[in-house]
Structure 1
Amino acid sequence: PGSWQDSYGLFGRRVNESAPSGPVMSEAEARMGKLERQAIGELGLEPGASKADVKARYHELLKRFHPDMNAGDRATETKLQNVIKAYKSLKKAGYA
């Protein structure tokens, strides 16, 4: 073997290459942008959820947090607004 090192990985593996650090993203997560991942999380779903799952969860949360269903409790209003905003961003991105 020669005395040179392929430190940039031009000819294969790097000399000091190690396993990736941090959590590994699924294929579905990798295709989603940061905003979409946050929105899917706001709805309590996992990346890769189907459009039908997203819509069903959205309607479920609408009913749960709607002021009429909570005796006018304004504490759930913020959560409702976040759910609506998350669904709109997912719909705009084509996930709903």
Structure 2
Amino acid sequence: MSKEVTRKKMLEWFEALSAAYCLHGDEEISNAIRALIEHGPEVETEEEPRQYRCEGCGKHFDQKTFSHSRAEMGKDGNPIEIECGPITEAGVEVEKG
């Protein structure tokens, strides 16, 4: 449901609550408010899951990570861990400067 549709629906409910209060008094408005709270507007709260990407090695992550390491072969033939990064939101241009 879009924000505009949600606003319109909330306005309709507000008008219905106001009318109920004017016509029936406190008990009816109380019941109407309770119904609104229990069955109230279905507001979109979920966003599409964000994807994150390491600018150093291109690895993708589902959660924001501040750093990660990668293994590379050292000069002596043994693997070494190298700090990699930076991690940015995939698809978002990063200003370099």
User: Do the structures match in fold with TM over 0.5?
Assistant: no
Compare the two structures and name the one with the higher strand fraction.
Answer: 2
Query: What is the TM-score when the length of structure 1 is the normalising length?
Result: 0.32
Query: What is the TM-score when the length of structure 2 is the normalising length?
Result: 0.32
Compare the two structures and name the one with the higher helix fraction.
Answer: 1
> Who wins on radius of gyration, i.e. which is larger?
2
Q: Higher relative contact order at CA 8 Å, sep ≥6: structure 1 or structure 2?
A: 1
